[in-house]
Amino acid sequence: MSNEQAMAGKVFIVTGSGNGIGREIALAAGAAGAAVVVNDIGAALDGALSGQSPGAEVAAQIVAAGGRAIADRNSVADPSAADAMVETALREFGRVDGVINCAGILRDKMVWNMSYDDWDAVLKVHLYGAFNVSRAAARHFKEQKGGTFVHLTSTAGLIGNFGQANYSAAKMGMCGLSRSLALEMARYNVRSNCIAPYAITRMMTSIPRPDKDEWLAKRAAMKAERIAPLAVFLSGDAATEVNGQIFTVRGNEIFVMSQPRPIRGVHRSEGWTLATLGSHFLPSVKANLVPLETGLEVFPWDAI
């Protein structure tokens, strides 16, 4: 089946798809034959409304190329707006087959400088937003016995990063949400997976670095459009055996990420004391403790 026919007849909602990775995913889905609800409220990186409508531009580009698309400016952070987003898909295209959760904002600060609003705003868009739209779509997926979720998580949550406690917590939470959706909805032929993308977008270029030009040059292969094929593939019928997984994409590299499982256990029939925890437990598991690293240390090589 050609790229132009791969998603024919399907209807996808792509949140946060006016810019960056979401934009590339929406364009790729449209090019593959899907009808696309291009959701974007037109916000700056910190979530403040910009007055612009990048989602309308993306929808127009899909239509100009012969596809079907409509812009949607509902906020993912509002549960009723998320319901309205799904209703838009049903009204305009008659069905909804997939949700790709890309919407996000940044409020980067070290945790001692992070305000409650910085914390709350980021979780509302990333984690609550993914839940709101997923829940709204799940009701229809359950009834039609089919559907897909793809959530853009981050190695900031999976591995760790500085100055992003709010973002890291939200992105790790999205992995738990995805796993629950996968388990609960598998009986209804519904799948849910995550992608942790590495891509040069306005989010990444906003991070202050003294060596930013050199740093960006080394990551030239990490283009937003490299994320789109996997996101669209996971939303299609060719990926029916893939469910509950987490992937990382860096340039032309795709990794299947591990998920928490027991790797070492120690048993003491008489129970544990402070003394035996220090003398027996810690020496037994020390080699298995996870290093305190960031994503840049786990993936130190230049993206291919």
Q: Residue 80, Cβ neighbours under 10 Å: how many? A: 11
Q: Give the tens place of pLDDT for each residue, 51-77.
A: 668 999 999 999 999 999 999 999 999
User: What is the CA 173 to chain-centroid distance, rounded?
Assistant: 11
Amino acid identity, position 233 = F
Average pLDDT across the chain, whole number: 92
Q: Give the tens place of pLDDT for each residue, 71-101.
A: 999 999 999 999 999 999 999 999 999 999 9
- CATH number where 87 lies: 3.40.50.720
Taking phi over 0 as left and psi of -120 to 50 as alpha, with beta for the rest, 302 belongs to: beta
* 283: in domain: no
| Residue numbers of the domain that contains 251 | 11-260
Dist. CA 266–CA 271, nearest whole Å:
11
* 303: in domain: no
* 149: in domain: yes
Q: Give the model's pLDDT for residue 304.
A: 84
* 61: in domain: yes
Q: Give the model's pLDDT for residue 1.
A: 46
Under 8 Å between Cβ of 31 and 6: no
Under 8 Å between Cβ of 186 and 143: no
pLDDT at 44 exceeding the cut of 90: no
User: What is the total residue count of the chain?
Assistant: 304
pLDDT at 273 exceeding the cut of 90: yes
Note the pTM of the prediction, 2 decimals: 0.92
The residues that are catalytic are 167
Under 8 Å between Cβ of 63 and 48: no
DSSP letters of 101-112? E-------B-GG
Instruction: Give the chain's domain count.
Output: 1
